Amino acid sequence: MKPGEVITFVKQQNAKVVDLKFLDFFGIWQHFSVPVKKLSEESFESGYGFDGSSIRGWQPIHASDMLVIPDPTTAIMDPFMETPTLSLICDIVDPITKERYTRDPRSIASKAENYLKYSGIGETAYFGPEAEFFVFDDIRFDCGPNSAFYFLDSVEGQWNTGRDEKPNLGYKPRYKEGYFPVSPTDTLQEIRTEMVLILESLGIEVEAQHHEVATAGQGEIDMKYAPLVRMGDRLMWFKYVVKNVAKRHRMTATFMPKPLFGDNGSGMHTHVSIWKDGRNLFAGDRYANLSNEALWAIGGILKHTPALCALCNPTTNSYKRLVPGYEAPVNLAYSSRNRSAAVRIPMYSPSPSARRLEFRTPDPSCNGYIAFSAILMAALDGIENRINPGEPLDKDIYSLSPEEMADVPTAPGSLEEALKALEKDRDFLLKGDVFTPDVIDTWISWKKKNEIDPVRMRPHPLEFSLYFDC
């Protein structure tokens, strides 16, 4: 929609409130609302002021004034508000220079799309994330100087087979056996369907939904691919819908990568392709029907994966999932069909338009705008420099001998290790001013101070079992 069309839409929908949504630095939607009378065509240029110093990782207190500028193309009615509420996703602008704010994730994604066009390599990068999540019945946690605990529960949890549920009806997915069971084992079919129908009502096309591998309510809903910025917007709506539908049912949803010990974590396998002049650049006659450009893109992604992990797996919890020998693809190799490789080439369809890469390392705790932008920049660096990805690995990686495994590099084992890789390997992100040095430095310093150090300095409950009697 254009600004004038949004004003007409507001009247047609009898909207009473305008909700202005934007993203903090690390991926959480923020918002504030204004009465509908405060929205005019001029609002899409003049914007609305707010305090940027109160947003994580943003402005200092002495330079806190910022503007949100609504994007009229994102206008939609919020599906969860009782009062008719128009939702607008906003960009962040400096009120003095009128330039887009460099730490605004949506701005970074826009610059990545612009750099793709500037490079001459392509016109559009399509992304299709598969964001997995858990829906629990209960979650409690607390951290103090002398105590810490977490407790989560699900009627589906295999650990509840012996609980007196008056009556306990069984049908609880066994650990690592939650993939595709029907009802009554799958208790969340109707809830996921509700999520799907709301997403579709928002114009977000869904390809499939199903229970995932873990016990205790792990699920997946797959959206159809879309261009980078648009998919960033859709991923935010996706998380919003999943969490709010769960809340409707007095349940709670989380995209935390590894909430359960001993069972599968939640990944976000991300499908990528680059198009130019209506043609998929990744389709060709090389390995797995890929083009040279696709293979070079794989080379770029694999080369830069240690740095990418700092942005695509940005939490300390992410590395509870990225553990060698388990379900996560930590081995930096590529293959057709083989899901134990970090980059897989899906072979569902012979159509050239379907040829794409699937980067399997990311998880859904990431900021989609930033993660997709970084993946695109790594792929473009691979194409620009014709980075050879090496030979494909079409064996079961986990059955290789130690000698064979020694030749397969792996992803970082901790957030600290990933941030160190990002410190050393950042030049590919700085091209076209997509990421600025300030953005990367701020990301690294915030993560160290606010996440790595507090987790590292806090005693872990298991340490008491291991060491209290030492």
Reported in sequence order, the residue ranges of 137-214 that DSSP labels E, i.e. its strands, are 138-143, 148-153, 206-211
> Cα separation of 80 and 243, whole Å?
11
Token readout for 356 is 């794409």
Contacts of 411 (CB under 8 A, 6+ apart): 305, 306, 309, 313, 322, 330, 331, 332, 342, 361, 418
3-state secondary structure of 431: helix
- Residues assigned a catalytic role: 51, 130, 132, 212, 220, 269, 339, 358, 360
- H or E element at residue 239: helix 228-248
DSSP assignment letter at 74: G
85 strand-pairing partners: 17
Query: Does residue 468 sit in helix, strand or coil?
Result: coil
Count of alpha carbons within 13 angstroms of residue 52, beta-carbon side: 23
Pure H helices in 249-367: 292-312, 318-321
Q: 239-247: long-range contacts at Cβ-Cβ below 8 A with a sequence spacing of 24 or more?
A: 239/29, 239/131, 239/364, 240/29, 241/79, 241/195, 241/198, 241/199, 241/202, 242/133, 242/135, 242/195, 244/80, 245/191, 245/194, 245/195, 245/198, 246/135, 246/191
Cross-strand pairs, 270: 129, 359
3-state secondary structure 79-104: CCCCCCEEEEEEEEECCCCCCECCCC
For tokens 């859904």, the residue is: 364
Residue 95 CA to its chain's centroid (Å): 30
**Nearest CA among 237, 252, 233, 264 for reference residue 191:** 252
> Apex CA 232: angle with CA 276 and CA 42, to 5°?
95
Alpha-carbon distance of 140 to 236, in angstroms, equals 25
Return the number of other C-beta atoms located less than 10 Å from residue 407's C-beta.
10
The sign of the CA dihedral 8, 12, 18, 19 is negative
Give the Cα separation of 265 and 138 in Å (integer). 18
